[in-house]
Amino acid sequence: MSGYFKAFELDELEKQQADAPGPYMEFLRRRGMSVGLYALPAGGEDHQHPHAADEMYVVLRGQGKLRVGDQEHTVRQGSVVSVDHGEDHNFFDITEDLNLLVVFAPPEDPEGESQGSAEPLEHQRQP
């Protein structure tokens, strides 16, 4: 049985994201999920809308708050938060640049258009 996988280095992804046209950069898409980086500056605004996919955020760096419906949750490095599909949500009161790893399941492009993709380190195991 052969296996296929992609490997990424976070520092390289963040360099590519710095050159991306928007705050979100998808770098992996599979049948069951998509993964990207999302960056919001301190004092910035998050203009998200509800998504058709469930989401998971992993805070890589920074601090702020996440509002989901009428609930608020403080997030900081190491926080992991899940948001169900269809829920109104946004980050606010961002006191330190917020850098997030975002997983959509099933895959969804949150902006409805391509936001760029990273070049992976691809590996194919031979049978």
In this prediction, residue 127 has a pLDDT band, given cuts at 50, 70 and 90, of very low
Torsion region of 62: left, alpha or beta (phi above 0 gives left; psi -120 to 50 gives alpha): left
Number of C-beta neighbours around residue 108 at 10 A? 18
Range of the domain at 89: 4-124
pTM given for the model: 0.82
Dump pLDDT digits (tens) for 64-89: 999 999 999 999 999 999 999 999 99
- The token pair that represents 27 in the structure block: 């770098």
> Residue 8 belongs to a domain with what CATH number?
2.60.120.10
User: pLDDT band at residue 3, thresholds of 50, 70 and 90?
Assistant: confident
Q: Domain tally for the chain?
A: 1
pLDDT of residue 117: 38
Q: Using pLDDT thresholds of 50, 70 and 90, give the confidence band for residue 1.
A: low
- φ/ψ (deg, to 5) at 109: -90, 110
Q: How confident is the model at residue 108 (pLDDT cuts 50, 70, 90)?
A: confident
